[in-house]
Amino acid sequence: MPEWNRRQWLAAFTSAGLGAAGVAAAERSGPKPKRQIATRAEYPDADTTPLPLVDYQPRSMLHVTETHVPRSRYPNIDFHSHLSWIDSKGQSDVVHHGAKPEEILQVMDSKNVRMMVNLTGGYGPLLEETIRYWQAPHPDRFAVFVEPWYDKIAIPNYAHFQADQIERSSKMGAKGLKILKTLGLYLREQVKTGPLVKIDDRRFDEMWETAGALNMPVAIHISDPEAFFLPIDRFNERYEELNAHPDWSFYGKDFPSNLELQEARNRVMARHPRTKFVALHVGDSENLSYISECLDRYPNLYVDIAARIGELGRQPRTARKFFDKYQDRILFATDATPHGDETPQQIFGRELYEIYYRFLETEDEYFDYAPAPKPPQGRWRIYGIGLPDNILRKVYFENAARLLGLSH
């Protein structure tokens, strides 16, 4: 008996009006027809040219609820932003301000953002400039953090010098200490050359202690998504992101593993129990059971959710339980950077806040985690976790207010 083609099979199926039982009987009796792939000749109008991945922008056909959340249900503190940063490309480091305070305040007012923490405030005279520009004129709207003066790492008695810098910065008005992933992944013994300096290097002990004594929370970014430590190949779930930013890859060379970096951070927290650490980007947003163990082990650990709703929102049930359990130690944060275009998940603006609010407050399904035509951190969409009011109040405001020593 000749094999049927697809059309014949379909015709037989529909004209015979076979129900499920009939299909089962047909399958039992005759030879099983082979499913054939339609040929180009059969469908001359079909475009079978391979589509480059970069051009693929599928639109969801799901008809599901779309909730617009223009303002957060409660006033919030955005614990993680980069309103200014240190530009170190020229002869000497300079502060670069991403926008004018008035421009930022307008969006804050319309989106219910009570305060923004500008983490990358710099160090020494640069920090002074950042505080003067942002915090001094608007002390109830902007808080500035200090960064370590890494260029001095090779000087004798750096440990003491750095601790002293923290004390000075506190007097200047800095509200906390920010550690970029520079520590552990970029900073080397001679700043740019030599072996990598470890996160738990003893030269920083005095700095961690001083921050704790001065009630300055330490916002610490350690490691990065696990895929950044794997080859940039067809199996890498962040292939497009890494392809666009190959310098974000920590695969090979002398880079420590993701786990080694996190364990080094854990040793620091164990050694300095009086100091409060906020692990930025949820610490490890892809492995909530691991970061949960860390939260259980170190009572001085907090986390922020900046630039990781893409991760939390693709595991909504696990994320929801995580928020339930650690509701007193999770901080609202976005990683917002004004006028950036390279990382759509961080572009400061109304749209960015609305996506975060939708994720936290609604149970909407399958929506974009970033204001971009293509999901920039990986090809997936997210689900809202619909937090109850009491948790929203803590995550949006109370937890950060406590850490920053603000009165409500």
For 38-169, list the strands marked E by DSSP: 76-81, 84-87, 94-97, 113-118, 142-146
Q: Taking Cα atoms as reference points, which of 174, 212, 236 lies closest to residue 378?
A: 236
Nearer to Zn ion, 206 or 335 (CB): 335
Interaction between residue 200 and Zn ion (CB under 5 A): no
Cα–Cα distance for residue pair 368/381, rounded to 1 Å = 5
Residue 218's beta-bridge partner residues? 177, 277
Q: Which is nearer to Zn ion, 335 or 368 (CB)?
A: 335
Task: Please calculate the CA angle 86-126-212 and round it to the nearest 5 degrees.
Answer: 95
Amino acid at 347: I
Q: How far apart are CA 222 and CA 180, in angstroms?
A: 7
Tell the smallest beta-carbon distance from residue 78 to Zn ion (Å). 11
Q: How far is the CB of 117 from Zn ion (least distance, A)?
A: 10
Q: Phi, psi at residue 259, to the nearest 5°?
A: -65, -40
* Smallest gap from residue 282 Cβ to Zn ion (A): 13
Q: Which is nearer to Zn ion, 163 or 187 (CB)?
A: 187
Minimal distance, residue 278 CB to Zn ion, in Å:
12
The CB-nearest residue to Zn ion is 335
Tokens of 118: 């500008």
CB distance 175 to 144 below 8 Å: yes
Looking at the Cβ atoms of 69 and 330, the one nearer to Zn ion is: 330
Binding residues for Zn ion, rule CB under 5 A, total 1
Residue 80 or 394 with smaller CB distance to Zn ion: 80
Nearer to Zn ion (CB atom), residue 219 or residue 391 = 219
List C-alpha distances in Å: 33 to 6, 38, 109, 265: 9, 15, 65, 60
Window 301-340: residues binding Zn ion (CB under 5 A):
335
Give the nearest distance from C-beta 281 to Zn ion in angstroms: 8
Q: What's the min distance (Å) between Cβ of 266 and Zn ion?
A: 21
**Residue whose tokens read 């951070």:** 265
Q: Which is closer to Zn ion, CB of 7 or CB of 245?
A: 245
Residue 279 CB, shortest distance to Zn ion, in Å, is 12
| Cβ(76)–Cβ(394) below 8 Å | no
Which spans of this chain sit near Zn ion (rule: CB under 5 A)?
335
